[in-house]
Structure 1
């Protein structure tokens, strides 16, 4: 993981660095690489990986809205926090799907809560899972799994690439897949929230209506709550 800060306010940069280090110390994990920039031009010129970014809006030269848009075009998975005193930029920032909007001065507890959500999302997007079939093992990002379906004695893993017939049972997949993104809607289906298009009380429509999973009535409320929490964590 590589975390970037882009702000022309040296005090805010120092505070963000401190809070980020405190957060990783609190969860008992070594702090990732931290890189700081004071303007958008130098950030856009950077050739390194960009996983999580704390971005100011009002800076000399390019403003943060333009920079954020450009970075999202290059890598849609970048997790961007907008950090600013000016709430009028919120609508513009939301158009390129920023992860969170943090107001200055920063509140430490709120920062920690949002940072946890960002790290959880990053881990979900980057975690890779092995799919064991009779022909061999295929390793794919968890995010590419649309759903796991039990078809009689077979267990089929539907992915964005193709379907795989797994040699593992449903319980194995229920324990393996990240619980913040996957949900068992029915004894025959485990779905990935990321690929949900819409749902009603009996069906979950996925992958732009290309796939459908059953949703039992007794799980409807729990599914709805979990899905809304997932959406909230990715905004």
Structure 2
């Protein structure tokens, strides 16, 4: 989930960064901007796409609402979340197809709630892993991914139907697409689909087809919890 945060108040930006760091979700990737014009120019120059925009309404020169109107001319799918300390703007923001609204002062619970809401929405609308290889584009559904293995820049994607795909992608880029509740790290190189885990025994994760993958001590506790939560949810 790629997020653009824009507010001309540095204290608010620092608050948001602190809350996101506490949440510690590897699927969240964010960048901060201190004015809407800066954000607009950045998107135009780098052709950057964000899934979510968290915008302050009242900013100098270009307001959050003005930026959102420009954004909607080219992007109708990104989620827009507005922040303001003045509740009279609540009705104005919905002219720009607004996803949510946060009233200041900010709190950890408010930010956590809205991030969970956006992540859930994006997860429902995007259940596949997209990548390019040799000028070809691919989309592999989460349910068909068995595990992913990195070797330097190279990423190999092993599927349930015994296919293998390859692309070049950084770990941060990989996690920006994956759902951290469905996938878990086994070691620095391997990410597994929790639904394909049969059991965890010592240093090994046994997949449903009997294949064994090595899990390091650093990731064992977290993966066991994810696996238990998954099993508890389906029984």
Structure 1 length-normalised TM: 0.51
The equivalent residue for 2:61 is 61
Q: CA deviation at 1:72?
A: 2.3
The equivalent residue for 1:42 is 38
The equivalent residue for 1:10 is 10
Q: 4+ runs of 1 displaced by more than 6 Å?
A: none
Q: CA deviation at 1:140?
A: 8.8
Secondary structure, counterpart of 2:97 in structure 1: coil
Report Cα offsets for 1:125-147 as digits up to 9, x if no partner.
Answer: 22239xxxxxxxx96999xxxxx
Secondary structure, counterpart of 2:122 in structure 1: helix
The equivalent residue for 2:28 is 32
Q: How does 1:216-231 map to 2 (within 5 A)?
A: none
* Distance change >3 Å, CA 30–CA 128, structure 1 → 2: closer
Q: How does 1:91-110 map to 2 (within 5 A)?
A: 91-110=91-110
Structure 2 length-normalised TM: 0.51
* Distance change >3 Å, CA 33–CA 115, structure 1 → 2: closer
Q: CA deviation at 1:10?
A: 0.2
* Distance change >3 Å, CA 139–CA 33, structure 1 → 2: closer
- Structure 2: segments with no counterpart, 5+ residues: 130-137, 143-235
* Relative contact order, higher structure (CA 8 A, sep 6+): 2
Q: CA deviation at 1:97?
A: 1.8
The equivalent residue for 1:230 is none
| Aligned residue pair count | 132
Q: CA RMSD in A?
A: 2.6
Contact 1:125 1:141 in 2 (8 A): no
The equivalent residue for 2:201 is none
**Alpha-carbon separation, structure 2, partners of 1:4 and 1:56:** 11
Indicate the larger mover: 29-38 or 98-107: 29-38
The equivalent residue for 1:22 is 22
